Structure 1
Amino acid sequence: MIPFTQRVRAIALRSVKQAAMAGVLLASAVTAMAQADSPVGTWQTIDDHTGQPKALVQIAQDGNGSLNGKVIKGLGANDQPDRRCTACTDARKDQPILGMTIISEMKKDGDAWDHGQILDPENGKVYKCKMHLEEGGNKLVVRGYIGVSLLGRSQTWVRQQ
């Protein structure tokens, strides 16, 4: 027969392990819920013409609550760390695309983010931007436009884990 104190220790140890596992599961669930309602994270962009992965963009929230996104990795033919934005006409002219902020000042507007800008490093043009999440936060629809939202194009980016 196992002494009483050993049984109590065994039960206590099992309780601690179960509580730790519950904490891990809870943290995972909170992270998943946060992802479902925020674009903060890493996104794989898709080339409009080829349908192939183009780059990874990291979206982060600044101290003012605005979202900004920068290129953290080129993919496929764009995986050239020395690529520069030769077509840019602002301060980013001839700057490396890797590390470049291409999304700026996005503000939450209901279930979407709006009132910001997006740079297309391929043509150097800056567009107004709006975006919203789909498929439980796993896809981000990013729309760049001139003037009104009807005059633009959308891309769907895929969340990376």
Structure 2
Amino acid sequence: MSQAKTQIRGEHHHATVIRRRQTALRRWLGCIVMGLLGLLVCSSLAASTGADQPQAGPTPSIVGYWLVESRDAVIQIEQVGDQYEGHIVWQLHDTYGPEDGPELNGKTVTDRKNPDPALRSRPLTGLRLLWGLRYDPDRRTWVDGRVYNADNGKVYHCQIRLLSADKLSLRGYIGVSLLGGNTVWTRMQGPGPPSAKSS
């Protein structure tokens, strides 16, 4: 009889331990569920609040007038739809000089290196030099553009990034951006000519 009582007490103790463990497990799971619900609510509130907040800073802009690194031309960049393009609006030398030969001396500088003979007589001033650029906010860079080099009549891929509010770096390249070179342009207030202070 004593042995039976001991067995019953043991089973009762074992059942009590199991119930306590089950209760603790339910509480632990309940805490996890409540914590997850709290995170979801906080995330939802943050998202709804953030939607009404302004951006951390204004979107940078390359729109304006830019003096090229050689200081002999000014390019005006404008936004057209969701893309950006640039035109030559001023040149230091917009007519040919004696060094270009008697046939050209005094005449308007034209796109004479263009591979299309029909375009070789168009003036360089007013020529579209950049096109197809679009702004990538993640990289804070204008990408997928094309740049025309009037010195050889070739078109290259290009991208632009702002170095500061008044400086930009244009990278022209063939194929991939690693195969190319950079040039730095300086912002101007108008189409030129540049003042002695521009640098």
Same fold per superposition (TM over 0.5): yes
CA RMSD, 1 decimal = 1.9
The alpha carbon displacement at 1:106 in A equals: 0.4
- Pairing 1:46-65 to 2, within 5 Å after superposition: 46-47=69-70, 53-62=71-80, 64-65=81-82
With structure 2 as the length reference, what TM-score do the two structures score? 0.56
Contact map agreement 1:88 1:94 (CA 8 A) in 2: no
Equivalent position amino acid for 2:123 in 1: P
Flag structure 1 segments of 5+ consecutive residues without an equivalent. 1-32, 48-52
Flag structure 2 segments of 5+ consecutive residues without an equivalent. 1-56, 96-106, 190-199
The alpha carbon displacement at 1:94 in A equals: 3.1
Deviations 1:107-135 (A, max 9, x none): 00121101010001111110001000012
Equivalent position amino acid for 1:42 in 2: Y
2:177 maps to 149
The answer to whether the aligner puts 1:112 opposite 2:141 as a matched pair is yes
With structure 1 as the length reference, what TM-score do the two structures score? 0.68
- Pairing 1:25-44 to 2, within 5 Å after superposition: 37-44=60-67
Contact map agreement 1:134 1:141 (CA 8 A) in 2: yes
- Pairing 1:24-103 to 2, within 5 Å after superposition: 37-47=60-70, 53-62=71-80, 64-75=81-92, 78-80=93-95, 82-90=108-116, 92-103=119-130
The alpha carbon displacement at 1:93 in A equals: 3.2
- Pairing 1:130-149 to 2, within 5 Å after superposition: 130-135=159-164, 137-149=165-177
Equivalent position amino acid for 1:85 in 2: D
Aligned pairs, how many? Answer: 119
The alpha carbon displacement at 1:92 in A equals: 4.0
Distance 1:116 1:92, change over 3 A: farther
The alpha carbon displacement at 1:65 in A equals: 1.5
SS, match of residue 114 in structure 2: coil
